[in-house]
Chains A and B, each alone.
Chain A
């Protein structure tokens, strides 16, 4: 009997193919929206996690001034100096590498091409801390670092803008007023999770930067990596105590510098994207609900439109629950069809979108099961009222209905 009812329902759906499609459009959109949103959200979370892992999850960075988050430096704080770097190297345990950096926005010129980028004065340690490889050429030599010779390592974006497809190694570029030889080309690191292009960069030895570019001995940021397995929290605390002493911060004063732990940032970022994913999925779920109301709407219209048909069925000997079941099954089959179509559409288009956004494609099978069950449930919930209305029709009135 259930098979029979299913058969009748399928025939009704086929009989009204166009209307059936319009009815389930809401469900299709709702289900695919939920799947797309959650897949993109999961992908973004995975990407952020991966990016931060690539940035070095054992990485700490120190900036002068109290900061609430990345990029919010306070200007008045006393800058860091080279002596701080050597003190940290000497006194803090379990450090793998320490790299001082100073940054300035400069235009780099090669031939008749020019490109505005940030020039970072640092040491070879910077590559170790950031886990950055040289794609072509070589890093700075010891003597270059010490003597402050104008040599540089350039990122892929700078290479593309100045050299095109040509190899930059050994070429002379101008950084500001200084001529500088390109010693090496960095491997591509892509966009950071904060959206900045990490390859838009020129590295030169810190000595050269201080004497020829910035003209002062300030260090704007120190990057450190902690030995594998060692606690970043402990290193962070040791650095904090050391710098408080060195910078003569009073016992009641708060730090005039900040030590960032990438792991903390990672957790914050992951948390943020997860909240966003939940939010977007919730919005998408609302559209699924609207889709369900659409089904109810069309089913109610359909019951009115088919009043005479229902009258005939009742006269011929259909029982109330057979008519109820027929309309209910019709609604459930419709919404389930919508659910399946939505899943197929959602899965394929989220595959496309994640590819386009270059984020990992993380498909959550649980999400698909939930979407399927939910769409079927919507059919039952929103199909019941119209079905009951049909079943309760008086056959005499129904047959007379115009």
Chain B
């Protein structure tokens, strides 16, 4: 079940993630809501994609499926060529553990737990030995500019710092794909740009594929590609040069 995202098929590189006619419906009968209506998207390695769209356009559902937290009702979602819809709950957990990193709008750090311990969490589930865990976590915190804050708890950190801890937690295990759900939604403009610069540097420097949901065009401008959703389908899919 190793995703073959680095291999190449006859038609060029295999996309890291691919939606093939994906639909997603919630509820049953008359109460049924179609969140996705035949989605077709391909995202390749090392891309930085911003996902935009009004609420209810299906972007959250799309993110859940991207994050292997949910599976399509019909159609298939391929992660590195693997049809995720056929995997069990536990198999998807293993997939997330090894290939995915999450950044949330509300940071979602464990309270009363030091920055170090928060960052170490994904490594804990990867069974990384303690000494390596510590050095990787320290390294990740340094990367997000929080050297010296290792033993601070979330309550002792500002919003921007908390989100940086969350980013360190997302990248510490070097995921193939980083999913960010409105990562700057709770931050002021200055902090937002700091975070975006950081994400872009991970994309260009470490080669981590990033898919980010955002409402703000300013933030979307950092991405190399902007996908707009409308009524459960892709409304527009534009490549831009990214903000210089």
Contact = CB atoms under 8 A, between A and B. Distances in A.
A314 B96 CA distance: 9
Contacts of A399: 104, 108
Interface stretch (B122-130, B193-201, B221-229): B122-130
Contact of B96 (A317, A322, A396): A317
B90 A319 contact: yes
A21 to B, nearest CB: 16
A4 B129 CA distance: 10
B89 A316 contact: no
Nearest to A323: B93
B89 A320 contact: yes
A252 B95 CA distance: 94
Nearest to A15: B112
B97 interface: yes
A399 B60 CA distance: 12
B40 interface: no
A322 B169 CA distance: 19
Contacts of A322: 125
A327 to B, nearest CB: 15
Interface stretch (A115-123, A191-199, A274-282, A305-313): A305-313
B94 interface: yes
B117 interface: yes
Interface string A1-21: 100100010010001100000
B90 A315 contact: no
Contacts of B64: 396
Nearest to B117: A11
Contact of A318 (B108, B113, B125): B125
Contact of A317 (B98, B111, B117): B98
A41 interface: no
A320 B127 contact: no
A319 B127 contact: no
Contacts of A168: none
Nearest to A314: B93
Interface in B74-103: 89-90, 93-98, 100, 102
Contacts of B95: 317
A396 B69 contact: yes
A313 B113 contact: no
A320 B93 contact: yes
B125 A316 contact: yes
Contact of B67 (A4, A11, A315, A320): A315
A389 to B, nearest CB: 16
B25 interface: no
Interface string B108-152: 101111000100011011110000000000000000000000000
Given A315-B67, A396-B69, A4 B110 contact: no
Contacts of B90: 319-321
Nearest to B109: A312
A8 B108 contact: no
B47 interface: no
A26 interface: no
B9 to A, nearest CB: 28
B231 interface: no
B108 A312 contact: yes
**Of residues A312, A315, A320, A322, which shows the largest number of chain B Cβ atoms within 10 Å of its Cβ?**
A315
Contact of B94 (A311, A314, A317, A321): A317
B108 A311 contact: yes
Interface in A231-259: none
A393 to B, nearest CB: 11
A316 B97 contact: yes
A292 interface: no
Contacts of A316: 96-97, 102, 121-122, 125, 169
Interface of B: 64, 67, 69-70, 89-90, 93-98, 100, 102, 104, 108, 110-113, 117, 121-122, 124-127, 169
20 contacts: A1-B127, A4-B124, A8-B124, A16-B112, A308-B108, A313-B121, A315-B69, A316-B96, A316-B169, A317-B94, A317-B96, A317-B122, A318-B125, A319-B90, A319-B93, A319-B94, A395-B69, A396-B64, A396-B69, A399-B104
Given A15-B113, A320-B90, 5 more contacts: A311-B108, A316-B97, A316-B121, A317-B95, A319-B93
Name the 3 nearest CB pairs between A and B, nearest first: A317-B97, A317-B96, A319-B93
